[in-house]
Structures are given as C-alpha cells and as structure tokens.
Amino acid sequence: MIVPRERLAAYYKWRTRFLRPYEDGLYVVKESTRSYDNGLSCSNEHGLAMLAAVTCGQQADFDGLFKFYNRFRNKNGLMGFLQQMEQGKFIPAPWGGGSSSTEADVDIATSLFLAKNRWTSGGSCHEINYLEEAIDLARCIWEHCFDRKNFMPWIGDWCKSDDHEYNKVTKPGHFILGGYWILQKEDLARRERWKEVIERMVAVLQQQLTLHPKTGLLADYLVLADNGSYVPAKSRIENKERPDHCTEHSCKAPWRLAYYLSLTGDTRISNLLLAQGTFFMGQLSHGGIAPDYALDGIRTGKTKYFKSHAAPVRFLFGTLGWNDRYDEMIEKTKNAESGGDSMGYTIDLICTLQFNGKAVPHLLG
C-alpha cells in the first residue's frame, strides 16, 4: 500500500513534534499550555497515534507505541488513561492512571487488527503477534467497558459497577463505528456482539437526530432513561457543567461517523451527517466552528476556533463531497488554535490520514 507523499509529510511533521522515545518504546508527549498537563501521556492520543502509524505504514513507530501501551495495561488489560513522568520514569498517574478510556482502547484494538492485515507480526524477532494482541484487547474491552445488556460503552472500566454514578452514562464521542465495524470483521469470537453494538449505536444516533433535526448535534454525554432510551445528560459529569452541550467530546462525531460511512456506505446515519454538515456550513459565515454549542445550535462561551473541532468537520465535508467547503476548512483548520494542548494536532493528523479523498457516491449532488 502506497501512502501519498503529502500524508507522509503530515505524519512526519507531527511525529517530530510529539513522539518521544521511552525505554524500548515510544509515547505521545502531551504538549500543553496547562502546567498540570505537562509530563503526562494520555491513552486517547496514544490510540490515535497507533492508528496514524499503521495507516502510514510506519511499523517501527507502531511497535514502539505498542510497547509503551503494553507497559501500562491495567488489571483489566486496558491502557491506563494517564501516565506521569516522575524522576525520569513513567508511572500511572495518581488520577486516571489505573483506569481506562474506552475510546483509547477501541482505537488501539482497531490499529492492532489493521497491523495484522498489513504486517502479520512485529518486533525485531517477530515476537509481537498483532492478531493475538488485538483479540485479547477486544475481549478486555467487551468484558470491562460495555453495558452488555444494552450493548453500549461506558466512559471507561471504572464505571462498570452497578452502583457507580456513571453506570448508565455513555459518550457519543466513543461511538467509534468504524472501529467497531473492524472489530466485528476480525474478532470472530465476539462478532455478533460487535454487530449488535453497531445496531444499538445507530439506533441511538437516529433517536438523537429527532431531538434536534436542524443541527444533528450530539451531547457530550447521554444517560440511559427509565424507558430504555438515551437522553442528553443534565447533571454535572466528569467536571462538565453542561454535559448536554456539544463540546470537546462530541466534536469528534462528524469525523468518527463519516469515516464509518465511508467504510461501509451505511445510509442509516446519512440524515444525521447531512444535518450536521448543513449546520456547520452555515457556521462558516459566522467565522468557523465554535468549541461549544447547545444542541439547538446556539454558540456558548468565548468565540475561539480549535483544530480539534475544525478537522472533524473538514472530514465530514469531504465525505459529503462538498469540495469548496472542504477546501475552506483546510485553511480554517490550519489557522485554528491548538486548544491548549497537543490533542488538536493529533486529531487533525488522523482526520488527514483517514480521509480517502472520495465522497460517498449516493450523497453527491
């Protein structure tokens, strides 16, 4: 598989700035304007980095990232959310170091299945069996990150106990349909379960569209109601005062969902993506994609423009075949702020790498 030169250039530019060696592996440095973030590495960025490395055919980088991930798997076999540098050594961070983020582990498992298809095995002596590692992680995800009655993901393994306050909470930012589609193809032991996960997520997305059909915006957090439906959360969650807004979590949905559409052509989410695309196109006349929206489309907070919000919309416009708007978003993403840390650059990179340059045919015109 030949990787286009401009995509390799984007990867190498990102790599130079954000990948660092650690013992026999590699990690993503969490470059941040917030002093308390410096010296940390985050599993969410690590998963995206592994996807980027395998997409660009960078096996040495991929194996280095794998080794770091493998070093910081927790008791449930999942990558700890945060690692902290202390006296020259990484340790699980006091907050979040022992618990997982479902999003990260799904990206890592997906990348391992892709690595299996591309290289079969890794390591200097072929000691890394990508398929075995991928299947093992997929099993851990299913056992520790999912409400198996409702086939919906928790925020992480720390929410799995029945009496946890977030046991009925899920995040549309974790609706990584493209990743689950790859899992249902490759993880044969749990194939039917991953299929059901996709079906359930699609149904929830369709239901969310009925709440705000003019915007298609998704809340950062959804809560399972007594009637079995998922509704935007109202109470404070993970220090988010407005969990029913679309901010730094659900801002990834236009890319995550459009990527799934580009892989599968599943038209059941087309109306949602068209609603989002139309809404965001209208936002361009107001300067760009804002970092905080109420679900009815009202902007809240300060008017700033971040890469982590712009790049997913760029991906969506490209998938919809709105080429002029796609080109406009290239410039807006380039000129957008990082958002205070390295995540914006990493999301920008993976949105660049996963876009195949083609619109979904039935959406053209």
Cα separation of 153 and 14, whole Å? Answer: 30
Region 272-282: mean pLDDT is: 98
CATH code of the domain containing 26: 1.50.10.10
Which of the four pLDDT bands, split at 50, 70 and 90, describes residue 249? very high
Cα separation of 362 and 205, whole Å? Answer: 20
Query: Would the pLDDT of 359 be above 90?
Result: no
Residue 1 lies inside a defined structural domain of this protein: yes
Query: Would the pLDDT of 159 be above 50?
Result: yes
Region 346-354: mean pLDDT is: 97
Residue 6 lies inside a defined structural domain of this protein: yes
Residue 11's SS3 state is helix
pLDDT tens for each residue of 186-212: 999 999 999 999 999 999 999 999 999
Residue 364 lies inside a defined structural domain of this protein: no
Cα separation of 237 and 297, whole Å? Answer: 21
Region 81-110: mean pLDDT is: 95
Region 75-99: mean pLDDT is: 94
Q: List residues bridging with 222 in a β-sheet.
A: 170, 232
Query: Would the pLDDT of 39 be above 80?
Result: no
Helices 59-71 and 43-55: crossing angle in degrees, nearest 10, is: 160
Cα separation of 11 and 15, whole Å? Answer: 6
**CA angle, corner 153, sides to 306 and 92, nearest 5?**
70
Which of the four pLDDT bands, split at 50, 70 and 90, describes residue 241? confident
What is the 8-class DSSP label of residue 73?
B
Residue 18 lies inside a defined structural domain of this protein: yes
Query: Would the pLDDT of 179 be above 70?
Result: yes
Number of domains the chain is built from: 1
Amino acid 361: pLDDT: 67
Cα separation of 236 and 234, whole Å? Answer: 7
C-alpha distances (whole Å) from 255 to each of 39, 308, 310, 350 are 29, 10, 10, 10
What residue type is assigned to position 234 of the chain? K
- For CA atoms 200, 205, 210, 211, the dihedral sign is positive
Start-to-end C-alpha separation, the chain: 31
Query: Would the pLDDT of 256 be above 60?
Result: yes
Backbone angles phi and psi of 240, in degrees to 5: -90, 115
What is the Cβ-side half-sphere exposure of residue 81, based on CA atoms within 13 angstroms? 15
Amino acid 365: pLDDT: 41
Residue 131 lies inside a defined structural domain of this protein: yes
Q: List residues bridging with 25 in a β-sheet.
A: 22
Extract the tokens encoding 27.
């990690």
Check: CB of residue 306 under 8 Å from CB of residue 339. yes
Residue 24 lies inside a defined structural domain of this protein: yes
Amino acid 360: pLDDT: 77
The residue among 184, 60, 186, 68 whose CA lies nearest residue 116 is 186
Residue 185 lies inside a defined structural domain of this protein: no
Which of the four pLDDT bands, split at 50, 70 and 90, describes residue 264? very high
Query: Would the pLDDT of 272 be above 90?
Result: yes
CA–centroid distance for 176 within its chain: 6
The residue among 80, 76, 92 whose CA lies nearest residue 138 is 76
The residue among 187, 189, 201 whose CA lies nearest residue 150 is 201
pLDDT tens for each residue of 295-311: 999 998 777 899 999 99
Which of the four pLDDT bands, split at 50, 70 and 90, describes residue 35? very low
Which of the four pLDDT bands, split at 50, 70 and 90, describes residue 357? confident
Domain limits at 133?
1-146
Extract the tokens encoding 152.
């919906």
Residue 86 lies inside a defined structural domain of this protein: yes
Amino acid 38: pLDDT: 54
Region 183-188: mean pLDDT is: 98
CA–centroid distance for 180 within its chain: 12
